[in-house]
Amino acid sequence: MTSARTPYYLDCDTGIDDALAIAYLLAAAAQPDSGVDIVGIGSVSGNVSAAMGASNTLDLLALAGRSDIPVAVGAHHPKVGEFRGGAPHVHGENGIGNVELERSAASAVSESAAEMLVRLAHKHAGELRVIAVGPLTNIADALHLDPTLPGLVKELTIMGGAALVPGNITAVAEANIANDADAASDVFAADWFITLVPLDVTMPNVFLEEHRAALIRSGRPVASALGHMLDHYFEFYVGVYGHRASALHDPLAVAVALGDLALKSAPVVRVVVDTTDGPGRGQTVCDLRGMYNGYPEQSGAHTRVVLSLEDDFAPTLLARLLVA
């Protein structure tokens, strides 16, 4: 099936940075010449439970006037072990900074997120672009439902991992990957083109108080709500940056997937995920040994690892959110 617009499926665990990512994607889709068509959103347990993530997503879509976008509830537990309750200290008890949005009249669809992804991949064969900004449980489940999935998906963009920098949940592991390392291992082992947007690039790109204030001052419902959500997020990041700010993990991944950013360094390399039970569990092991001579082509490599951008992302994000 062909269409004038490019179909995107988003898989998320809707906390605060996921909300920023959704708003960025919605704003892009609202531009007449963008070619962006959001064909579905799936939720997975991570920042919050999959059920709460779906509820947050539905409420945000309603606030934006896009209740037509189908939302599917995905996996509650990772492949191994159980969901451990999320990250309320980072995202608030409700996942969106304890901001109360008006409840959406829409409900999640009956199919699971993995089932939705497989169906959309067949419907938009060779065209569907998948963006995953939470644990990769749903993506792995979809692979198990249909091993032909990599041949149907145009590109998979993942926010997660750490290539040359420390992790944020262990010394070496980033939260999305660590929360389901076994699923992540399956996803990276599959034969599709992946763009990985790791902490290397998301941590240096930050939102500041001036950006948050601009969102609130705008008076626009979505932008204002995001500004208030960020208050809680900023408080958490005081312990990381030493001042009120926030990393831009998930919206940056969406912007990369849309082609909105100039990439300064993004080599295509081999990536595997550590699934052992030792201190390395959840690490994205990226073969970056070629950095000293310009990353020559690696046989069998199919993961583009975004290490840096040409420009600061915050102004681009702010401009997009102010029209969300």
Choice among 17, 180, 249, 250 that is catalytic: 249
Q: Answer for the pair 70, 106: CB distance below 8 angstroms, yes or no.
A: no
| Known catalytic residue at 302 | no
> What beta strand segments (E) does 168-214 contain?
194-197, 206-207
| Known catalytic residue at 13 | yes
Distance CA(265)–CA(279), nearest Å, equals: 28
Q: Answer for the pair 134, 174: CB distance below 8 angstroms, yes or no.
A: no
Q: Answer for the pair 252, 196: CB distance below 8 angstroms, yes or no.
A: no
Q: What angle do CA 160, 165, 166 make, to 5 degrees?
A: 80
Distance CA(25)–CA(274), nearest Å, equals: 31
Question: Considering only CA atoms, which of 34, 138, 126, 165 is closest in space to residue 76?
Answer: 138
How many other C-beta atoms are found inside a 10 Å radius of the C-beta of residue 43?
32
| Paired sense of beta strands 308-309 and 271-273, if any | unpaired
The structure tokens 């902490």 sit at 199
Question: DSSP string of 75-102?
Answer: -SS-SSS------HHHH-TTSSTT--PP
How many other C-beta atoms are found inside a 10 Å radius of the C-beta of residue 105?
8
Question: Considering only CA atoms, which of 63, 65, 59, 27 is closest in space to residue 43?
Answer: 59
Distance CA(92)–CA(321), nearest Å, equals: 21
* Distance (Å) of CA 11 to CA 44, 167, 308: 7, 21, 23
Choice among 13, 180, 250, 274 that is catalytic: 13
Start-to-end Cα distance in the chain: 29
Q: Which residues are catalytic?
A: 13, 249
